[in-house]
Amino acid sequence: MSKVQGGMKCVKYLLFVFNFIFWLSGSLVLAVGLWLRFDPTTSSLLNEDGAPDTFFIAVYILIIAGGVMMLVGFFGCCGAMRESQCLLGSFFACLLIIFGAEVAAGVFGFLNKDKIIEEVESFYSNSLRDDKNGTTITNLYHTLLQCCGTPDTVTTQCPDPTADTKDCYAAIKDFFNEKLFIIGYVGIGIAGVMIIGMVFSMVLCCAIRNNREVI
């Protein structure tokens, strides 16, 4: 009897510690999502009229998941300390939903990486042909990404091109590859942490039920 209660207390405090770490992880995910959304360079490149918004879909998933993780982490701590099967069951269900969202964000980032880059490249090339608003947009890309022209036009469009002059297709690819890998690794990494939380919550829930049956 005392061994069962001692084991249950051990799992309870482990789950409490996990939930605190989970809450901190939610803060990190939320911070990363907000940084990707409001990063001055990213916002400037994708906030123009007609700019593709596929990239921001994965970012919004991260922001929502991070906010919910913080909320769920708080209620998970309450459920662990009160030894409430109802709260622990709800905690498990919420973890499962967030797990799906995080995996979706990670997979979305990896699978749509080429599509997002192609959309931004297409937006840039269309701006080159737009006499009305194109100059402003292309100058913005040239300044922020420190690039000039496309692989076919870099020698003719750019003043005094050198061997080190990077075309904007390559610059766009490098820039968004970095951002999308961040989304992918954060999403999949946090999803792995949540598996541990689901295991802890189910173990504690079963221990609470078995303890009450013994009593």
Where does residue 38 rank: exposed (0-12), middle (13-18), buried (19+ CB within 10 A)? exposed
Separation CA 30–CA 26 (nearest Å) = 6
Residues 13-66: pLDDT tens digits?
777 777 788 788 888 888 888 988 888 888 888 877 777 877 888 788 778 878
Residues 93-141: pLDDT tens digits?
777 787 777 777 677 777 778 888 898 888 888 887 765 656 778 888 8
Q: What is the pLDDT of residue 210?
A: 67
Residues 151-204: pLDDT tens digits?
877 666 777 766 677 888 889 999 888 888 887 777 777 777 777 777 777 776
Separation CA 114–CA 120 (nearest Å) = 10
Separation CA 167–CA 164 (nearest Å) = 9
122 or 6: which carries more pLDDT confidence?
122
Q: pTM of the entire structure?
A: 0.73
